A and B are shown apart, each in its own frame.
Chain A
Amino acid sequence: MHSPKHKPARGPIIRRAAIEAFTKLDPRRMVRNPVMFVVEVGSVLTTILAAQALVGEGEASFGFIAGVAVWLWFTVLFANFAEALAEGRGKAQAESLRKARQHVQARRLSERDRHARAEQVPAAQLRRGDLVLVIAGDTIPGDGDVVEGIASVDESAVTGESAPVIRESGGDRSAVTGGTRVLSDWIIVEIRSNPGETFLDRMIAMVEGAKRKKTPNEIALDILLAGLSLVFLLACATLYPFSLYALETRGQGAPVPITVLVALLVCLIPTTIGGLLSAIGIAGMDRLIRVNVIATSGRAVEAAGDVDVLLLDKTGTITIGNRQAVELLPAAGVKVEALAEAAQLASLADETPEGRSIVVLAKEKYGLRQRELANTEARFIAFTAHTRMSGVDLAGREIRKGAADAIGKHLKAKGGGLSPDIQALVQTIAKSGGTPLVVAEGSRALGVVHLKDIVKGGIRERFAEFRRIGIETIMITGDNPQTAGAIAAEAGVDSFQAEATPETKLALIRGKQAAGHLVAMTGDGTNDAPALAQADVAVAMNTGTQAAKEAGNMVDLDSDPTKLLDIVEIGKQMLMTRGALTTFSVANDVAKYFAIIPAAFAGTYPDLRALDLMRLHSPQSAVLAAVIFNAIIIILLVPIALRGVKVRPHPAAALLRRNLLVFGLGGLVAPFIGIKLIDLVITTIGVA
């Protein structure tokens, strides 16, 4: 988590949330949350009843009704506050993002030529397909692809990463984001999004929660909560005629006061989860942004929690990108120094990381100094797709290195061939997951260089965690099956797809989906786009192409493929937090019944006192204590709602057992203690 600029101060956020808690009381907004709307209606009703008690004859003492009314209002305000607090963090971030694109002017080109006629237009007027020239010092006016030129770009405004990145036309590093700054050189950018649809716009909308749509699970939960509220509404409303009948047959006591019924209703309906539901959703998106991932929708984040298959590219995700030479294995009769020298010579002009690692190995392990060959009449043979070899011709020596089959062909043409011991070495290295490079001089193979993939530290443990929670990991690689198998084993993935092409990737995803799995993958290249579009959760790298970004439903600003693992956890955490607080909320009701029912009928049926397990002070203090507990618990649970419950790498059965114990049993017991304590406090200070 490296986003120093996204860390707004807490004080102003809390202040602003406190104010917004009041503005959110607007019934037109409240009605979107049926549970809290019921509480608001109850607050209004009890306030009227309190006023009635103040001016004339009320159904109970003014102090009692007013006390209930005040705490009902607090209940609504606390819930609003929680939501405003969650939104507040995002808003602060959105503001800093907005600054990034203020007053940007663009040079719109009439054609794709650096020297074409350019006009100055505000960035907001750029449309899809426009071409703009951006030179050093300019802010890139919109999202798009570099179609010409190369430049270093400062993307810190979006990613928080201060090191500049290279953006160039063609290939997989062509995408640029509006709001970032060109530091050197120039590029021509073809704009890919219309105003209001840019990445920055999406990001702002996301962090502000303004366009936040309810996720599918949230909608389902909402329905359940509304259903429960309706049941409790019935249970409470019918109590009034029941109490009238009881009163009549009994001839003592009074009908149950409306205030008590409202209090009972508010205590029973799931206000805890109802009040915190949207805060949980917003906080989840916020957590995602803090790990520098932008999701196009909450639905995608939730889907991440459901993912049970992860497709991971070998390079960059599982291994640290490049293979390194780790060993030189000479053929029979060849001295290892001779092999080292030949290998080094063949690699001197090879600027690939592999090539450089051979030079380094030769130097460090075999004490060969790096030689300057620039002035000799060395002729370097570059790698071509046709020959699949590289090497050097030097003073009559003809040194080549390359894949075993390529070198074999080369030697055969010269009347030689690969000796059995070389072939054996090649086999051994391949089997171990390494890549063998055969080094040959003239018509003779000198030996084999062992190139090895380096698996990232800690990745094995991470995969083991995923296996425990039921997520299958599949490594995707272009390597041959043997090599892939060895790396897969070393990294601890569940399976792998070797010699992968965009088509086989797509087929793999479709196959998994047909079997009912949800698939997540990362990708960056344009050829990943079909697979990204097919996957249920697709994280595009920010360094990737615009096509990839559009096909995915999330963008990782850090372009770190392991981020997928964080995203899955955040998705799960959102669901778990909702489930936990719902369970807690419903479990709470039991204690509230034991507090309120005996109190409500204290006059008619004193026998019901036997149900008052908490031995509360008086009927009025019992009702008030329950209402206060109900309000305060919302505030107490705000940290859990915002932070999320802890995700543990356990199988579902173990998670369920644990969470049921904590939130189910805890929810059953906590209010007994809480209500008793509150009852003690309010009777001591004489409120009731």
Chain B
Amino acid sequence: MTAHALLQCGVYVVVLVALAVPLGGYCARVLGGEATLVQRLLGPLERGLYRAAGVRPDDEMDWRDYTGAVLWFNLFGLLVVYGLQRLQHLLPLNPQELGPVAPDLAFNTAVSFASNTNWQAYGGETTLSYLTQMVGLTTQNFVSAATGIAVLAALARAFSRRRAETIGNFWADLVRSTLYILLPLSLVLAVALAADGVVQTFAPAAEVELMRAATGPEGQVITQQTIPLGPGASQIAIKQLGTNGGGFYNINSAHPLENPTPLTNVLECLAILLIPAALCLSFGKIVADRRQGWAVLGAMFAIFLPLLGLCVWSEGQLAPQLVELGVDPSAGNLEGKEVRFGAAASALWATATTAASNGSVNAMHDSFNPLGGLVPMWLMQVGEVVFGGVGSGLYGMLVFAILAVFLAGLMVGRTPEYLGKKIEAFEVKMAALVILLPSAGVLVGTAIAVASEAGRAGISNPGIHGFSEVLYGFSSASNNNGSAFAGLGANSFFYNLALGLCMLIGRYGIIVPVLALAGALARKQTVPPGPGTMPTHTPLFVFLLAAIVVLVGALTFVPALALGPIVEHLQMTGAHP
């Protein structure tokens, strides 16, 4: 790893933390219903929404009602996206006269956007009408992220309450997260991106004369180039901030009109981790012990930084097989990467986008070196808890914290407790579910895919790398990331269905136990801390939490990884040619 790569990553981390601190405090105020500057501006809109919907934001819900509201809202969102795709040929704003989307693909896409995964089995501009994109997908970019923040807010509240039945009001959490957190941040980021060259217009595509006529792949003479335009910046801003990741262009943030400069690159990359990092600190504020928020954030960084180092190092290498052909290895592995970003900024993005459940890419993970590809794959497999999705990453990490507290807490001779809440059979059961379900999705899904004709049909790279493609796909879907080893031909009935189910399980199979957990925790008495309490804000606990995440992730996926990237790496480095 070069000094420059190190400097770039260092600056990224410092700026990230510097931005997360004030934002964390702000989000806590928003979720606590406190007045903010933005609230003064948009307050009438918020109240108008409540009035129209006939909800009272102060009417608190118990965990069952809260879960019901989450599920209904997400179900309708899913149905709308599905319906729009199936009926888009009958609806307006379809200038390209695209036909209805096939049912399996429509299902996959609907689940993908409702579940904050943004796995894209469809081919962007060539499948979906403007109406479907705007009304369906853009809206889901906001509200699926807001759903994650809301569920987190409910869980955080549960920790801070004692002997309470209710955990908040979902409608209030949803509306406030959207209006006061996601919308203003997106607006600022979108304008900043547009200033540096990201397209933002409703004008039609621009036709330009090529400087040199070129010969096309079929031998035709090409003299013009179509520069596709559109309202890119506004969608890119929310897809980055809301850990959605569904690109405006097919090739996502590798596209020069989606991510034109190193500056837009670092802004988009910061946006990936900004809210997840900030919410850790909001959590600390909500539970009235800021150190707890820093500890969780610390554990995330404790896992993130070494993996970032590994990925950046790996992509700084070039396969010996290519060096042998006469390629200069000094710039690293540039296949699938853009020159303006280089290997380091691409690896940084890959690590961030999979640490968070974002899934946007600025380089092709499929073409990464084996260990460079292992990093994003494994970051998804640990359950998207290292930053993870907005809200969802932190509630996943808190489940791991519960597990860590339970495992190690017994060793101090007391019933384990986290933030004063005793961790008992029910909590452990829910935690086990949360960890088990996505892992089951990844392993069982991959097993079925490699064992079936339908599954094998989608594999593009031969041999070991093909296995990695499938494993990566199921890891991405089951953990709601959305990035891909893009060689996998995933638009088939089999993959649309299998990955769609994985996304459903990975999202709602976790939200429901997490909210049940919130309900149980809120009802509990809070044990006051003393010297006999295992502290959960110390470096030791940070280490322990990180170790548990790594250990569970490693123990579950080492066999699969050994048959994918690990053996591929060993073959590449030529231990046994």
Contacts and interface: CB of A to CB of B under 8 A. Distances in A.
A587 B550 CA distance: 12
A231 B383 CA distance: 13
Nearest to A224: B428
B451 A241 contact: yes
B408 interface: yes
B534 A610 contact: no
Contacts of A664: 408, 547
Contacts of A302: 415
Given A220-B424, A652-B532, A660-B408, A606 B435 contact: no
Interface string B536-577: 001010001001000110111111101100110011000110
A235 B556 contact: yes
A285 interface: no
Nearest to A302: B415
A383 interface: no
Nearest to A217: B415
B566 A469 contact: no
Contacts of B544: 656, 660
Contact of B432 (A224, A250, A518, A608): A224
A659 interface: yes
Contacts of B433: 227
B526 A516 contact: yes
A217 B433 CA distance: 18
A308 B532 contact: yes
A575 B528 contact: no
A607 interface: yes
Contacts of A586: 407, 551, 555
Contacts of A606: 576
Q: Is the interface of B mostly helix, strand, loop or mixed?
A: helix
Interface string B73-95: 00000000000000000000000
A608 B558 contact: no
B464 A657 contact: no
B568 to A, nearest CB: 9
A593 B409 CA distance: 26
Given A305-B414, A656-B411, A651 B555 contact: no
Contacts of A647: 413
A571 to B, nearest CB: 8
B533 interface: yes
Interface stretch (A193-201, A288-296, A546-554, A577-585): A577-585
Nearest to B412: A652
Interface string A252-275: 000000000000100010000000
A653 interface: yes
A90 to B, nearest CB: 23
Contact of B533 (A235, A470, A663): A470
A456 B577 CA distance: 77
Interface string A48-70: 00000000000000000000000
Interface stretch (B207-215, B351-359, B436-444): B436-444
A575 B410 contact: yes
A236 B450 contact: no
B204 interface: no
Contacts of A583: 407-408, 411
Contacts of B409: 579
B214 to A, nearest CB: 38
SS of A interface (majority) = helix
Contacts of A582: 407, 410
Given A607-B570, A660-B544, A246 B555 contact: no
A575 B444 CA distance: 35
A238 B555 contact: no
Nearest to B446: A238
Contacts of A469: 413, 531-532
A239 B562 CA distance: 10
Contact of B420 (A239, A241, A516, A663): A516
B435 A242 contact: no
Contacts of A659: 408, 411-412
Given A236-B559, A660-B544, A224 B414 contact: no
A100 to B, nearest CB: 35
B425 A219 contact: yes
Contacts of B408: 579, 583, 656, 659-660, 664
A363 interface: no
Contacts, number: 224
A657 B554 CA distance: 23
B525 A572 contact: no
Contacts of A607: 567, 570-571, 575-576
Contact of A234 (B406, B444, B534, B547): B444
Given A219-B425, A232-B555, A576-B411, A238 B406 contact: no
Interface string A216-245: 110111011011101110111111111111
B159 interface: no
B429 interface: yes
A191 B556 CA distance: 59
B565 to A, nearest CB: 12
Contacts of B439: 231, 234
Contact of B451 (A217, A245, A308, A590): A245
A46 interface: no
A510 to B, nearest CB: 13
Contacts of B424: 216-217, 220
B528 A517 contact: yes
Interface in B150-183: 162
Interface in A5-50: none
A268 B551 CA distance: 12
A228 B548 CA distance: 13
B534 A653 contact: yes
Contacts of B563: 239, 242-243, 246, 601, 605
Counting chain B CB atoms within 10 Å of each CB, the highest count among A220, A469, A517 belongs to: A220
A43 to B, nearest CB: 22
Contacts of A249: 462-464, 466-467
Contacts of A242: 446-447, 450, 467, 559-560, 563
Contact of B531 (A236, A468, A610, A663): A468
B451 to A, nearest CB: 4
A515 interface: yes
Nearest to A472: B530
B434 to A, nearest CB: 10
A220 B555 CA distance: 21
Contacts of A244: 450-451
B417 to A, nearest CB: 9
Given A469-B531, A470-B532, A470-B533, A268 B576 contact: no
Contacts of A243: 563
Given A238-B444, A250-B463, A611 B525 contact: no
Interface in B92-150: none
B444 A576 contact: no
A223 B540 contact: no
Contacts of B538: 653
Contacts of B554: 590
Interface in A472-495: 472
B566 A608 contact: yes
Contacts of B466: 249
Interface string A555-594: 0000000000000000111011011101100110110010
Given A217-B424, A245-B456, A607-B575, 6 more contacts: A235-B556, A238-B447, A249-B467, A576-B412, A597-B562, A607-B570
Interface of A: 216-217, 219-221, 223-224, 226-228, 230-232, 234-246, 249-250, 264, 268, 302, 305-306, 308, 467-472, 515-518, 571-573, 575-576, 578-580, 582-583, 586-587, 589-590, 593, 597, 601, 605-611, 647, 651-653, 655-657, 659-660, 663-664
17 contacts: A216-B415, A219-B425, A224-B432, A226-B432, A227-B435, A228-B432, A231-B436, A238-B446, A242-B559, A245-B451, A246-B563, A308-B530, A471-B532, A516-B525, A578-B410, A583-B408, A660-B540
5 tightest Cβ-Cβ pairs between the two chains A and B: A470-B532, A579-B410, A572-B413, A227-B432, A470-B531
